[in-house]
């Protein structure tokens, strides 16, 4: 495995920033995009790697890859439609660290031959699937990393739900990249919680006035959850204020009990909060407390499809704890920090502890 894969395999969610001038589905995106300028700025903004379109249908060429290589040391993915070993050699010579292979366009024998040739050339391969059959093929071929595209390259339709199902099914011993359809922080968070190690973002960056700032926004943490919502207008206010997650308390012992999981835009993740037991609600996530002495437990777990994806560190029931933030700051793994966030000073303290 090479430096491209290694750059994506660390803790947290990695970002692959894509440079392209246009796309067949969206038309012109950034006709004047200059890889020599964008590449170092995106790397400085937190990109673990860069993807450069070298296909003329996207307004790209190998010269763009050469320009990016001259401008940054970040790992580079050459992206296009590759069928021959000579294609891979051209990418290597232009400075690429990895090549994209589309299983939609390759049978297993072709894909295996190209993966073998890439390895001999010192290139990683990002093997892309967009449905269950292609994911199964990628796994059997030994692909690592595996890309799972939310966009159907025939219809150009984005289906994040299917993508997340496939991400969740992918083997945990492979690096998994969620490609396409990442426009807001919640989209990246959804991919991460499903099991993705990285997201590949292109269109959202190229459409942004400042691509580097947009990338920083998408990768920034902590996320913000606004909980205790009981009315549609509450959801609207939370979304307008910039919430990434919206919470609906469905436990019977609270006066803030919601009538259910209310309709929310796809720019946020919905969270159903239960104590003791939970039921299917259609929420993206479940925040589940134990029931202790007739009340909720102090801490709980965050679940996605029944699988724990984070711990929730909360205050004791109806009590304060001066050591709450220090306790949270010392926690390992993915953590949601909750409890008593009622003023600006406390928000700042909680954000600092979460980071």
Q: Does 79 qualify as catalytic in the annotation?
A: yes
**Distance in angstroms (rounded) separating the CA atoms of residues 197 and 177:** 6
Which of 23, 51, 134, 149 is an active site residue?
149
Q: Does 128 qualify as catalytic in the annotation?
A: yes
Q: Does 293 qualify as catalytic in the annotation?
A: no
The residues, ordered by sequence, that sit 6+ positions from 275 with a Cβ below 8 Å of its Cβ are 251, 252, 253, 288, 289, 290, 291, 295, 296, 297
Separation in Å, CA 313 to CA 37, 336, 350: 42, 6, 11
> Coil, strand or helix: which one is 5?
helix
Q: Does 20 qualify as catalytic in the annotation?
A: yes
**Distance in angstroms (rounded) separating the CA atoms of residues 324 and 264:** 31
Q: Does 180 qualify as catalytic in the annotation?
A: yes
Strand (E) or helix (H) holding 86: helix 85-94
Give the pairing type, strands 176-179 and 307-313: unpaired
> Can you tell me which residue has the tokens 């050339």?
121
Which of 20, 23, 192, 270 is an active site residue?
20
- Residue 298 has phi, psi (to 5 degrees) of -65, -55
Which of 51, 79, 264, 270 is an active site residue?
79
**Distance in angstroms (rounded) separating the CA atoms of residues 334 and 88:** 38
Separation in Å, CA 216 to CA 46, 118, 329: 6, 31, 23
Q: Does 179 qualify as catalytic in the annotation?
A: yes
Q: Does 85 qualify as catalytic in the annotation?
A: no
Separation in Å, CA 236 to CA 161, 241, 246, 265, 283: 23, 9, 10, 9, 17
> Coil, strand or helix: which one is 22?
strand
Which residues does the annotation mark as catalytic? 18, 20, 79, 128, 149, 179-180
């Amino acid at each position: 495995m090479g430096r491209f894969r290694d750059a994506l395999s660390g803790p947290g969610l990695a970002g692959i920033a894509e440079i392209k001038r246009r796309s067949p589905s969206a038309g012109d995106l950034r006709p004047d995009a200059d890889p020599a300028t964008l590449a170092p700025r995106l790397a400085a903004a937190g990109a673990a790697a860069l993807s450069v379109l070298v296909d003329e249908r996207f307004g790209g060429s190998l010269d763009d890859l050469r320009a990016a290589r001259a401008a940054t040391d970040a790992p580079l993915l050459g992206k296009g439609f590759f069928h021959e070993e000579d294609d891979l050699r051209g990418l290597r010579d232009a400075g690429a660290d990895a090549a994209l292979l589309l299983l939609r366009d390759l049978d297993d024998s072709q894909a295996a031959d190209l993966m073998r040739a890439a390895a001999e050339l010192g290139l990683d391969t990002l093997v892309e699937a967009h449905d269950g059959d292609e994911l199964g093929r990628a796994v059997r071929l030994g692909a690592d990393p595996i890309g799972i595209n939310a966009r159907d390259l025939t219809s150009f339709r984005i289906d994040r739900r299917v993508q997340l199902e496939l991400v969740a099914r992918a083997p945990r011993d492979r690096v998994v990249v969620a490609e396409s359809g990442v426009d807001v922080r919640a989209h990246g968070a959804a991919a991460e919680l499903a099991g993705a190690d990285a997201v590949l973002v292109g269109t959202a960056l190229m459409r942004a006035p400042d691509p580097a700032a947009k990338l920083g926004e998408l990768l920034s943490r902590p996320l913000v959850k606004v909980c205790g919502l009981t009315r549609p207008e509450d959801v609207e206010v939370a979304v307008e204020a910039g919430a990434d997650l919206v919470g609906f308390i469905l436990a019977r012992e609270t006066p803030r009990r919601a009538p259910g999981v209310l309709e929310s835009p796809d720019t946020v993740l919905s969270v159903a909060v239960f104590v003791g037991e939970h039921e299917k609600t259609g929420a993206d996530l479940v925040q589940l407390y134990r029931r202790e002495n007739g009340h909720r437990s102090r801490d709980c777990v965050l679940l996605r499809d029944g699988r724990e994806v984070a711990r929730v560190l909360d205050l004791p029931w109806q009590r304060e704890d001066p050591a709450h933030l220090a306790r949270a700051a010392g926690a390992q793994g993915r953590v949601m920090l909750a409890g008593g966030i009622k003023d600006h000073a406390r928000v700042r303290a909680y954000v600092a502890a979460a980071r």
